[in-house]
Amino acid sequence: MAAAEFSRRGVLGAAGAAAMTVFASPLRAAAPEPAAITPDLIAAARKEGKVVYYTSIDLPVSERMAKAFEARFPGIAVRVERTGAERIFQRIGQEYASRIHAADVVNSSDASHFIVWKRDGLLAPFVPEDVAKHYAPEHKDPDGQFASFRAALSVIGYNTNLVRPADAPKSFADLLDPKWAGKIVKAHPGFSGTIMTATYEMSRDLGWDYFEKLARQRVMQVQAAADPPKKVALGERAIMADGNDYVLILVKESGGPVEVVYPAEGAPLVVGPNAVFKAAPNPNAARLFQCFCFTAECQQLVSDISGMHSFHPDVKEKPGRRPLRDIKVMKEDAAAVEKNAEEIKARYTKIFRV
Amino acid sequence: MALAIPAPAPRLPFRFDPSWPILIGFSAALCMLILLPLSWLVYYSLHDRAGAFTLANFAQLVTDPSFLDPLLTTVILATSSAVICCLVAAPMGWLVARTDMPLRRTVRALVTASFVTPPFLGAIAWELLAAPNSGLLNQAFRAVTGAEQDEYLFNIYSLPGLIFVIACYTFPYVFVLVANALDRIPADLEDASSILGGSAWTTARRVTVPLAMPAVLAGALIAFMQAMTLFGSPAILALPAGFHTMTTKIWSLFQYPPKAELAAAASLPLLVLTILLLRAENFVLGRRGYSVVGGRQGNPRLVALGRWKWAALAAVFMVLLNPVFLPYGALLNAAFSPVASQFVTLGTLTLHNVEFVFFELSATRLAFENTLILCTSAATIGTVMAVVISYMTARKVIAWHKALGFLATAPVAVPGIVLGVGLFLSYTRPPFVLYGTLWILLIAFVTIALPAAYQQLYSAFRVVNPDLEEASRILGASRLGTLARITAPLLRTSVIATWCFIFVGVIRELSAAIMLFTSQTKVISVLIFDLNESGDLGAIAVLGLIMLIVTFAVVVLINRIPGFGGVRLRNS
Amino acid sequence: MASVELRNLTKRYDAVAVVDDISLRIDHGLLVCLLGPSGCGKTTTLRLIAGFVEPSAGEIAVGDRVVSSPVRTLPPEARKMSMIFQSYALWPHMTVAENVAYGLTLRKLPRAEIAAKVAGILATTRLANLASRHPGELSGGQQQRVALARALVVEPETLLLDEPLSNLDANLREEMRFEVRRLHDQYRYTTVYVTHDQSEAMTTADLIAVMNGGRIEQFGPPEEIYARPRSEFVARFIGAANILKGRALDGGHVSIAGAAVACNGAALTPGADVAISIRQHEIGIGADAADPSPGPRENVIPAVVARNVFLGNSRDYIAEIGDGTALRIVTAPEHDIAQGSRVWLRLPPQRCRVLER
C-alpha cells in the first residue's frame, strides 16, 4: 500500500498533544540555534546551484519572490512548483512514499500539513535568525521545524461593474440571498489549503447548513483559492464566496474592477508556514532560501507585491491596505483541521457534488 | 526399436542466432508494459487498504451515488458526442471525398488541425469564448443585442457545453474514417448502379451511403471511446459546472488521502466498456467494411453540387469555426491581451504573458525539456517496437505471433487515466520504483502510442512482399540484418510517419501524465493544467500556442517528406 | 559436393500435410524440376530446402550435413544457397548493380573484387548497360535477368528457382528456359527448379519429380516420365492423355466398351479394374462406318464424333465410345469428319500404357 503509507495515522495519539493549537508548547522545546546568512552558507548554497520551492502561493507572486532571491544570491536558481496546497500535500506524500526527495523548501496554506510532516519526521529543525529574533512564539514551531511565512484571509469579493457597492453583500449570510443565485464563484477545499482551512473555520462558526444553503445558489466551482478573484476580475461571476484576499487586492490595485468585502462574521484566517525538508536535495540552498524568506526584506517585498500579511514586526503595510489587526477574523485551528480534513472533504463533496 | 533407426547424419554444431533473444525480449517488454499495470489494477481493486481480499470497492462503486452519477454522466456524454460527431462529420466526409465542393484539400488540412489540437487546450479556449459572463462570444452577443448584464448565449460550464467541446475534438476520427472509406469505394460500383438506371441521387442513397455505413459506425464507436476516456476537457469544464465524469472522479480519488483501491475499481468499468466497444467495432468492420472497401479501381466519381457548392463550403467552414478558428483566435487574443476576457486592441496589446512564460515562470524550461525528451524518445522507442512487433506478426516469425499482435493492440482498450493509475500502482513500489523519473512517463506514452503505431506498420508490412526479405536471407543476411538493410528502407515513409504520429500524440497527452508526473518530470500539458487550476489564462494561451506551433511544424514536416502517402514502392 | 537429399520430409500446417513424407536425392550438379499443379506442395518443398520453413518430420541434408530437421534448422543465410523468386524480389530501393552486389557485400569481399564480379555477371546476363537503373524502370525480362545475376554472382552451392518464368510472356519464357539451362551448364551447381509448366520442365531438367497432394508421384528423366507415366495423374499432367477404364481379360488385354484392347506395360491380373492411357495424337480416327481404316482389326473401337474444331495447324475431335467415355483426338487439319458421324478409333497397342494407379 505504498500510496497510502503517508496517511494521517495516529490521530488519537497525536490528538492530545495537538488539541490546542499547532504551536502549543510541548514539554520540552528543542529548537536548534538560530542560523544567520553567513558567507559559508551562501558559498555552500551556490555550490548546489538551485533550490526547489513547493508552494501554494499564487504563481506571479511566488515567481517574483524567486527572482528577488536570485537577484540577491546570483548563481542559485529557484524553481517554483506551484499548485494548490492540498495537491502539494498529496504530491509530497506520493513522492516520499516512492522515496523521491525533490522538494527543498515548502510553503502550504494549510497549516495542518506541517503537523503531519513534523510527526512523520520529514522536516528539518532549522530556525532562521529573523524568526528567532522577531517572530512571536505562536508563529514558530517550538522545535524549530517551521514558522509562519505569511497569512491570508479568505474573503468575499465582487466585480464593481456588475454589482453596485450599495447592493454588495456584507456578510456570508448575505450570500444566501436568492438574487445572487448563479452569480457566485468559489474554490474547492480538495485543492486549496486556504479553502480547506476556511471551510473548517466556517463550518465551526456558521455550521454545515450554511454550506448546504450556499450550494443551492448554483455556485461555479473552481479549484485554487487564487482563481475566484480572477474569475470575478474577468467578470465571469459577480461575487466570490471565498478566495484569497491578496489576489483580489492585487487586481484592485492594478485597476481591476473588484472590491474586497471583509465579512461581518469574520474572515477566515489562513496561516501559511514555511519549512525545510530533512531530505532536501539542496540542503544549504534550502536553508539559505528559508533564511531569506523570513528577512524583513523578503517579507516587505511579499507584502508589497502581494498584499499578503506578514508576522514580521518590521514590515509596513502599504498605504491604503487594511492591516490584519483591524480586520475581524475567524480563529485558525490547524490541529482541528488536521483531525477533520478527511471528513470536511467528504462532506463538502457530498454537498457540492464535486 | 532404436536399433531400427539408421545411423543419424552428423548434426549441426550449435549456432547462436542473436535475433531470438531480441525477439523474445521485445515480447517480454510488451508483457511488462501492459500486463503488469493491469494486473496491479485488478489486484488493488480486489483488496482493501490493509491488503485483505474484499469486494467492498466494487460494492461501493455500484451503490454510492457519487460513483453512479459520474458513470451515468459519462455514458450520456459519450453517447451524445458520438451522435453529434457522426451527424457533423459524416456529411463533411462525403462532401470532401465525393463532391466537387471547392477547397477540399484545405478542409482536410483544417480537420487535421483540429485532430492534433490537444482537447484540454480546446476546452480552455472555449472557456475564454463561452464562459457565460466573461466569454468573448457572450460579450459580443450582449454588445450586439443590448441584452442584460447576466444574459448569455452559451454556457460552456454545463453538460451540453462539455459535450460540444468534446465533439469539437473527436469529430475528426469519424471524418477521417468516413472520408477514407469513401475515397476507396471504387467508381465502378457506382457506375454499375447508374447503368442499371439509378440516378446520381439514388446511387448515392442505395450504394454509396450503405457502403460507407460501417465506417460511420466504427467512427461513432471511436468517438464514444474518446469521449468516455477523455480527462482534460471534463476536468476543466465539468468541475466548475459542479459534476464529475468517471475520469475526473478517478483523478479526485487520488486527493489526500489517496484511495488507490477505489480508483482501481472505478477504472475497471472503463476498461471493460472499452473492450466491449472494440469488439463491437471489429464486428462491424469485420462483417462488411473492409471486404468492400479494399479494392481501388478507378477514381471516385464526384457529385456535381452546382450552385449548392458554395453553400456546402460555407456550412463546412461554419463547422470548422468551432474546433479551429474561434479557439485559436481566443488563444491568440488571450496571449496578447492584458485581461484574457477583453478583446485586444493595438492600444492594449501586451507582451506581458510572453515575458511571464519565458522569463518568470521557472517551470517553463524544464517542462519544455521534459516534453521534448519524452516526445523524441517515446516516438523512437515506440517506432522501433512497432517495427519489430509488426514484423514478427506480419511475417509470423514466432509461433505465438497472434498473441503478440493482440498484446500490441491491447493498450487501445486501456484509457489513459486507467493506464496512469495502473502504472502508478506498479511503479511506486519495489522492485520497480520508477515514479518520479521520466521513465514512468516514457512507459506510459509508449504504451499509449503502441497500438496505432503497430497497426500502421503492420499494414505497411503487409504490402511489402516477403520475397524481398527472403531474397536477402538466402543471399546470406541474418534476420535482423535483413530487417535493417531491406525492410526498414522499404518502409521508410511509413516509419517516419509513425514516428511523427507518436511525437504529436505525446505532446498532447494529459490523462496518463496527470497521474504520473512529479515536479521534476512535469510536461507542458501538465503545466498548462496546473496553470488552469489557478486561472492563469494568459500564460496558458502562450504555452498552448507554442505547443500548437511545434505540433504543426511536425505535421507539415510529415507532409513534406518526399513520397509520403503518394508514391508507392513497387515490389515486383 | 552439394548433393541435396530429402529424407522422409514432411511439413504439416495444423493437421494438413502439405508435404507428405517425401524422399528424394539430387546429386551434385544436376538440375531437378519439381513439377506439379498449384497446391501440390512443390513450393513448400523448395522453401523447406531453402530453410524458410522448418520440417515437421524428416530431414534435409546438403552434402553430408543435415541442414533441416524438426529439432534444428540452419537459417537460410547459412546454407550457401541462392534463390530466384517468382516475383523476382528485386529491392526497389536499390539499383541493379546494388541488387547484384548485395550478397557479395554480405560476404565481406574486397570492394574491387565485388566490382569485378558484378561487372562480369552483368556482362554474362547482358545487363551491363542497365547497372545504374532501378528495378522499377526495367522490363519483365530484364528484371528476370537481374534476379538471375543476383542469385548467380555469389556462386552458390545450390540454386533454387521458384516459378522463375511464370511472369514472362510466351516468347520470352521460351528464350529464358534455354538461358537458365545454358547458365546451369556453365556453372554446374545443384539446382532445384519449381514449375507447373511441363514443357518448361522438359526443356530444362535433368530429372523431373512430378508432385501431387504433397507426394512425389514419379521421379525420373523427362523421357521416361513422358513415355512411361506410372499413374493417371502423371499421364494426364505430362502431355495431354486420354484415360480409358476397363477390366483385364488376360495378362495383356483389357475390355473397353465391349472391345478387346491389347496394351503395353505391367502384366495384368484377369478380372482386375484397369486404367490405360493414350495420348491425343496417337489415336487414329476413320470416318467410314462400313470399312474402318486399313490394317489389323485389333484395338479398334466404334465411336461417334461429338465435336470437331478446326485449330489452324491441327484439328481437335471429341469422340464418344460405347461406355460413354469421351476421348480427345488431335489429327491433321485436313482430316475433316462431320459432327455426329459414326467413326472407328484405332488405338495402337504399343501406345496403350497400363497405369499402375
- How far is the C-alpha of C86 from the C-alpha of C162, rounded, in Å? 5
Mind telling me how many Å the CA of A132 is from chain B's nearest CA?
Answer: 31
Mean pLDDT of C246-252: 86
**Mean pLDDT over each residue of chain A, to the nearest integer:** 88
List C59's β-bridge partners, or say none: C7
Cβ-based neighbour number of residue B9 at 10 Å: 16
Task: Report yes or no: A194 and A225 within 8 Å, Cβ to Cβ.
Answer: yes
- Cβ contact (<8 Å) for A60 and B535? no
Burial class from Cβ neighbours inside 10 Å (0-12, 13-18, 19+) for residue B475 reads buried
A7 — pLDDT class (breaks 50, 70, 90) = very low
| DSSP at A277 | B
Q: Which residue has the cell 465411336?
A: C303
pLDDT band at C192 (very low <50, low <70, confident <90, very high): very high
Q: A224 and B534 in contact by Cβ < 8 A?
A: yes
* Omega before B240 within 30 of 0, i.e. cis: no
Residue window 456-495, chain B: list those with CB within 8 Å of chain C.
465, 467-468, 470-479, 481, 485-486, 489-490, 492
Residues in chain B: 572
Q: Report the residue of chain B nearest C77, measured CA to CA.
A: B476
- Tell the burial category of C249 from Cβ atoms under 10 Å away from its Cβ (0-12, 13-18, 19+): middle
Nearest residue to A35 (alpha-carbon basis) of A130, A118, A143, A103: A130
The three-class DSSP label of residue A55 is strand
Closest CA to B569 of B486, B501, B472: B486
Model confidence pLDDT, tens digit, residues A232-242 = 998 899 999 99
A77-82 and A50-55 strand pairing: parallel
For residue B557 the three cell numbers come to 514536416
- The 10s digit of each residue's pLDDT in B181-196 is 888 777 777 777 777 7
DSSP string, B73-101: HHHHHHHHHHHHHHHHHHHHHHHHHHB--
**Chains B and C: how many Cβ contacts under 8 Å?**
97
CA-wise closest residue to A154 among A139, A175, A136, A133: A175
Of A66, A226, A234, the CB nearest to B341: A234
- Give the pLDDT of residue B19: 65
- The helix (H) or strand (E) run that includes residue B180 is helix B159-184
Give the residue from B398, B382, B529 showing the smallest Cα distance to B442.
Answer: B382
| pLDDT surpasses 80 at A27 | no
* Phi, psi dihedrals of residue C128, rounded to the nearest 5°: -55, -40
- Cell 518464368 identifies what position? C165
The C-alpha cell that represents C191 in the structure block: 539446382
Interface of A with B in 221-250 (CB under 8 A): 221-224, 226-227, 230-231, 233-238
| Residue A290 burial (CB count, 10 A) | 27
Cβ A82 vs Cβ A51: under 8 Å? no
- Look at residue C206 and give its three-state secondary structure: coil
How close B512 comes to chain A (CA, Å)? 15
User: Is the distance from CB of B430 to CB of A95 less than 8 angstroms?
Assistant: no
**Considering only CB atoms, which chain B residues are within 8 Å of C107?**
476
Residue A215, Ramachandran bin (φ over 0: left; ψ between -120 and 50: alpha; else beta): alpha
Instruction: Say what the ipTM of the complex is.
Output: 0.81
State chain C's mean pLDDT as an integer: 88
Option in C72, C85, C92 nearest B467 (CB): C85
Q: Is B64 on the interface with C (CB under 8 A)?
A: no
DSSP C70: S
| DSSP one-letter string for C94-106 | S-HHHHHHHHHHH
DSSP assignment of C225-267 equals HHHS--SHHHHHHSS-EEEEEEEE-SSSEEEETTEEEE-BSSP
φ and ψ of A269, to 5 deg: -90, 135
Cα–Cα dist A196/A198, whole Å = 5
Across chain A, which distance is largest between two alpha carbons, in Å? Answer: 62
C161 band by pLDDT with thresholds 50, 70 and 90: very high
> What cell numbers appear for C224 in the block?
521416361
- Whether the pLDDT of residue A39 is over 60: the answer is yes
Chains that touch B (3 or more CB pairs under 8 A): A, C
A143, B419, B480 from B382: Cα distances, Å: 52, 16, 18
Predicted local distance difference test score (pLDDT) of residue B431:
72
Whole-number pLDDT of residue B79: 96
Task: Report which of B38, B52, B51, B58 is spatially closest to residue B262, judged by C-alpha positions.
Answer: B58
Query: CA of B76 to nearest chain A CA: how many angstroms apart?
Result: 18
* DSSP 8-state secondary structure symbol assigned to residue A160: T
Subunit contact B474:C50, Cβ cutoff 8 A: yes
CA geometry: angle at B352 spanning B346 and B357, to 5°? 135
Q: Please state at what angle helix B56-63 crosses helix B65-98, rounded to 10 degrees.
A: 70
Please check the confidence at residue A62 and state whether its pLDDT lies above 60.
yes
CA-based nearest distance A49→chain B, Å: 14
Read off the DSSP letter of residue B47: B
Cell of C326: 469421351
Give phi and psi for B442, each to the nearest 5.
Answer: -60, -45
Of A95, A231, A342, the CB nearest to B518: A95
Residue A170, pLDDT above cutoff 90 = yes
- Residues in CB range of A344: below 8 A, 6 or more apart: A189, A196, A199, A200, A203, A337
Distance from CA of C226 to the nearest CA of B (A): 33
Q: Which of B495, B376, B494, B390 is nearest to B445 (CA)?
A: B376
Q: How far is CA B414 from the centre of its chain?
A: 12
Dihedral through CA B16, CA B22, CA B28, CA B30, nearest 10?
-160
Do B and C touch, counting CB pairs below 8 Å (3 needed)?
yes
In this complex, do B535 and A226 lie within 8 Å of one another by their Cβ atoms?
A: yes
Sheet-wide strand order for C284-286: C284-286, C342-346, C300-310, C315-321, C326-331
Q: Are B307 and B97 in contact (CB under 8 A)?
A: no
HSE, side-chain direction, 13 A CA sphere, residue C338: 4
Per-residue model confidence as pLDDT tens digits over C121-144: 998 888 899 999 998 889 888 998
Alpha-carbon distance of B74 to B80, in angstroms, equals: 10
CB contact under 8 A, C91 and B468: yes
DSSP calls for C276-341:
EEEEGGG-EEE--SSSPPSS-STTEEEEEEEEEEE-SSSEEEEEEETTS-EEEEEE-TT----TT-
Note whether B570 contacts C: Cβ–Cβ < 8 A: yes
Q: Would the CA dihedral through C12, C16, C21, C23 be positive or negative? A: negative
**Alpha-carbon Rg for chain C in angstroms:** 25
Choosing among B519, B529, B540, which should be mutated to test the A contact, i.e. which has the most A CBs within 10 A?
B519
> Following CA atoms C128, C132, C135, C141 in sequence, which dihedral angle do they give, to the nearest 10 degrees?
-20
SS3 assignment for C138-182 = CCHHHHHHHHHHHHHCCCCCEEEEECCCCCCCHHHHHHHHHHHHH
Chain C contact residues (CB < 8 Å to B):
50-52, 59, 61, 64-67, 72, 74-79, 81-83, 85-93, 102-103, 106-107, 135-136, 150-151, 154, 160, 167
Residue B560 touches partner C, C-beta closer than 8 Å: no
Instruction: Give the residue, C162 or A11, on which the prediction is more confident.
Output: C162
Q: How far apart are CA A297 and CA C73, in angstroms?
A: 80
Nearest to A1 among B49, B436, B519 (CB): B49
SS3 B562: coil
Q: CA-to-CA distance for B280 and B209, rounded, in angstroms?
A: 20
Q: Tell me the pairing of strands C207-212 and C31-35.
A: parallel
Each residue of C73-87: pLDDT tens digit?
Answer: 888 888 889 999 988
> Residue ranges of chain B with pLDDT lower than 50?
1-15, 288-297, 563-572
Residue A266 scores a pLDDT above 60: yes
Q: CA-CA distances (angstroms) from residue B323 to B108, B313, C203?
A: 13, 16, 70
B341 min Cα distance to partner chain A (Å): 6
CA distances from A279 to A99, A102, A303 (A): 10, 9, 30
Measured CA distances, B421 to A259, B39, B268, B413, C342 (Å): 43, 11, 11, 14, 90
The CA angle A46-A47-A48, to the nearest 5 degrees, is: 90
pLDDT band, residue C207 (cuts 50/70/90):
very high
Runs of H (alpha helix) within B464-536: 466-474, 479-482, 488-490, 492-507, 513-516, 524-533
